[in-house]
Amino acid sequence: MSRKQLVALFICQLIPYAVANGLLSLLPIYVKRFDASATITGFYLALTFVGLSVGSLYSGRLSSRFRQHRSFIVGGAIFSAATTFLMGVAPDMPLLMLFTALAWLGAGIQIAMVSILTGLFSNKRTRGKTFGIIGIAPVVGGMFGGLSAGPIVDHLGFFALFALNGLAYVVVVLAALWLEDKAPAANPAQGTRSASARQMSRPLLLLFTASVLVSVANYITGLGRPLAMNALNFDSTAISSTIAISSAATLPVPFILGWLSDRIGRKRLLIACYLAIAAGIGVLSGAVLIWHFWLSQSLVSWIRSERSLSSAYATDLIPPQSLGSNLARLSTAPWIGAVIGYAVGGIALQAFGIVPTLTLTALLPLASVALISIIRPTSNQAVTVEVTRPAAITISHSAIRPS
């Protein structure tokens, strides 16, 4: 991959995460002006990630049908810019929900298209390092979002926060002009595109499920942390600082783990990420001082490395002709986890309180460890599971590349 392509992809990944991290750290506080309970807040954030999931999922179909990844990144950025601005002028909770879901839908398209282009242009020998570099973008985005969001709100108010974050998407449009585009490789020996796109290998299905579970844990934590800090009378700057501090602390981690994965394998490093996330949730359940929250979020932030490692590992498993659809499918795992995490988390936090909810949540990354541990792709073949027909499961064999 050329340096220009890598830089452009990095920037296109950076901005949506900077906006999302800054807003998500304060949206649970913002919706209190609409008298939203913890349950309503959880459902609001869950609906937000429904939009992100839809954007990510349909990116695979858009990629396969139109093969215009750069155009969809630009269109998604413009759409997100407009709807992010509208979030700041929404007069009631239903309209806020609508505009937020639409803003995240556009971001989902951008993020999925970046993942697809990274997979298409990456070299197998350095794939982990390439995805690791792109994986740093969410960390840097977390730093920018966390450092800027709180002070903007404290000094200028929430309207300025939404307006400035909308304008940030202009940077994505400019960076996308540098991108080269590439169509998925065709391989007649592997069958038709539609047949391969309908199938998900069993190892990939296990990887997808593990990613969903750890994402559920991450987003329950993301809902509980600002509420816990607000209950302890921390201000907006302190609340958003947890994202900035944790992002700074984990800045090199995605690159280091990606580089290591090219040498020692990706599965054991994925397990290390899951264990770090479980430990971070455990710390949060007893946090009372600001550094407790910083430490907790620094460990939970290993989720960003998990996402880049998962994408690299999946690219090892996916045939080239179905890379776009399957990477887009995998990219929905964090957002499906967000929908479940916010919906269930809001109910659990209101019903049981913060500490019991977080204690149970810490078990989810451990379940991901169990799932990833049983992935056993063979050297030439893996069992694949038909995922599009709900009435029955069809078992077949298709060749895939070994991990």
State mean pLDDT over 235-243.
78
State mean pLDDT over 205-220.
92
Structure tokens belonging to residue 252: 């090199």
In angstroms, the Cα distances linking 64 to 41, 255, 297, 320, 335 are 36, 29, 37, 12, 21
Q: Could you give the percent of the chain with pLDDT greater than 70?
A: 88
State mean pLDDT over 360-380.
83
Let me know: does 21 contact 147? Beta carbons within 8 Å: no
In DSSP notation, 154-212 reads HHH-HHHHHHHHHHHHHHHHHHHTT----PPPP-GGG--HHHHHHEEEHHHHHHHHHHH
pLDDT at 401: 37
**Could you tell me which residues come within 8 angstroms of residue 12 by beta carbon, excluding any fewer than 6 positions away?**
73, 77, 110, 113, 114, 172, 175, 176, 179
pLDDT at 19: 92
Burial of 78 (0-12, 13-18, 19+ CB in 10 A): middle
Specify the 3-state DSSP secondary structure of 88: coil
pLDDT at 192: 44
Least confident of 90-99, 193-202, 285-294: 193-202
pLDDT at 185: 54
pLDDT, one tens digit per residue, over 311-331 is: 888 888 777 667 767 777 888
What whole-number distance in Å separates Cα of residue 169 and Cα of residue 100? 15
The candidate with the shortest Cα–Cα distance to 373, out of 266, 233, 277, 286, is 266
pLDDT at 254: 86
pLDDT at 191: 44
pLDDT interval class at 347 (50, 70, 90): confident
Pick the CATH number of 3-180+200-399 from 1.20.1250.20, 1.10.357.10, 3.40.50.1580, 1.10.3720.10: 1.20.1250.20
pLDDT, one tens digit per residue, over 39-49 is: 788 788 878 88
How many CB atoms neighbour CB 39 within 10 A?
A: 16
Residue 94 confidence (pLDDT) above 60? yes
Q: Tell me what the pLDDT averaged over the chain comes to.
A: 82
- In b/e form, how buried is each residue of 279-307, taking b as 16+ CB within 10 angstroms? bbbebbbebeebeebbbbbbbbbbbbbbb
pTM of the model: 0.71
Structure tokens belonging to residue 399: 């060749």
